[in-house]
A and B are shown apart, each in its own frame.
Chain A
Amino acid sequence: MNWSEFFNMGGYAFFVWTSYALTLIVVVANIVSPILQRKKTIARIKRAIKREAIINKSSS
């Protein structure tokens, strides 16, 4: 079997490779999205800590 034959997938190249590409996209999205979510959550809590520190200072 040569490579051009392999990529041709017996004439079904579009359907097979689009399926595998979409799978790759879903897998990558499932890896990237929780990493971004984590960064966002930590940044949000850090901001809240700062805000509370300012409020505590001004009230005392």
Chain B
Amino acid sequence: MWNWIQRFSSPKHFYGMSAMIIPWFAISALLIGVYGLYLGLFVAPTDYQQGESYRIIFVHVPAAWMSLFIYMVMATSAAIGLIWQIRLADMVAAASAPIGASFAFLALVTGSLWGKPMWGAYWVWDARLTSELILLFLYFGYMALQSAIDDQRSADKASGLLAIVGVVNIPIIHYSVEWWNTLHQGATVAKLDKPSMHIDMLIPLLLMAVAFKLFYGAVVLVRTRNEALYRDRNRRWVRELIEKL
């Protein structure tokens, strides 16, 4: 079992395997994303309270979900890297950070563009907004630690610890709308009873969420390949590969 994990998590093996998977992620993300956008912009009915402005939801909510999902992937990979010394896991964590940061940023700005017409302000120091901003700063902190420490093993240890400690922020973001009286609306999809959302709005939202996840899958694989090349730059498999390019 252990030998099996070691073999399949070797950067060389990953490099070969990932090349075959990436196009499938990319193509399915594109197809599902285009269909989701079509349903979201043309088919979904107008909201009776928010008019057409609610259509921001189809990019805002998937972006916010991704910022949380990618953080969990990053922290889990960092933990696997720390505990079992699997180098590929550290590479996945490092590759995830900039993608997660971009989605956290997108969730914040699209939220702000939705907040202006609905709440009358681009920004309020509301619990949901503030905890999401902290998530963006956690991503930045991870990336800063990665690039500030020259020794790769030390960089992975330091940034990995930050990522793991930062996990405490994830339930805070999720429950912020329940624990505090916030301006941000409560959960409409991720709750125990059935979602309080019209099915014609829910389907494009879920399609967009799936498309974003597949998109992340493609991008993180490409970035992990780059990490593998760079970190193994003095190893034979990379040298042989580069000479063929």
User: Residues of B contacting A29 with CB < 8 Å?
Assistant: 102
Within 8 Å CB of B51, what residues of A? 10-12
Q: Using CB atoms, name the residue of chain A closest to B222.
A: A34
How would residues 98 to 109 of chain B score, 1 for a CB under 8 Å from any chain A CB and 0 otherwise? 110011011001
Interface residues contributed by chain A, number (CB under 8 Å):
29
Assembly CA distance A7 to B215 (angstroms): 27
Is B225 touching A38 in the complex (CB atoms < 8 A)?
A: yes
Chain A contacts for B136, CB-based, 8 A: none
Grouping DSSP codes into helix (H, G, I), strand (E, B) and loop, the A interface class, with mixed when no group exceeds half, is: helix
- Select B229's contact among A6, A11, A15, A45, beta carbons within 8 Å: A45
A16 contacts which chain B residues (CB < 8 A)?
A: 52-53, 55-56
Is there an interface contact between A22 and B110, defined as CB atoms closer than 8 Å? yes
Q: How distant is the Cα of A35 from the Cα of B98 in the complex, in angstroms?
A: 14
When chains A and B are docked, how far (Å) is the Cα of A10 from the Cα of B41? 12
B56 neighbours in A (Cβ, 8 Å): 15-16, 19
**A10 CB contact (under 8 Å) in B46, B99, B109, B229:** B46
Closest to B220 in A: A34
Question: Is there an interface contact between B219 and A30, defined as CB atoms closer than 8 Å?
Answer: yes
Given A12-B51, A15-B113, do A30 and B99 touch, yes or no (CB 8 Å)? yes
Residues of A within 8 A of B (CB): 6, 9-12, 15-16, 18-20, 22-23, 26-27, 29-31, 33-35, 37-38, 41-42, 44-46, 48-49
Pairs across A and B, CB under 8 Å, 22 listed:
A6-B42, A9-B52, A10-B52, A12-B53, A15-B56, A16-B53, A18-B113, A19-B60, A19-B114, A22-B106, A23-B63, A23-B110, A26-B103, A26-B106, A27-B215, A33-B98, A34-B219, A42-B245, A44-B233, A45-B238, A49-B242, A49-B243
8 smallest CB-CB distances across A and B, nearest first, come from A10-B52, A12-B53, A9-B52, A19-B110, A10-B51, A23-B59, A34-B222, A19-B56
New contact pairs (11) apart from A38-B222, A38-B226, A42-B242, CB-CB < 8 Å: A10-B52, A11-B52, A15-B53, A16-B55, A19-B109, A20-B59, A26-B63, A26-B102, A26-B105, A46-B242, A49-B242
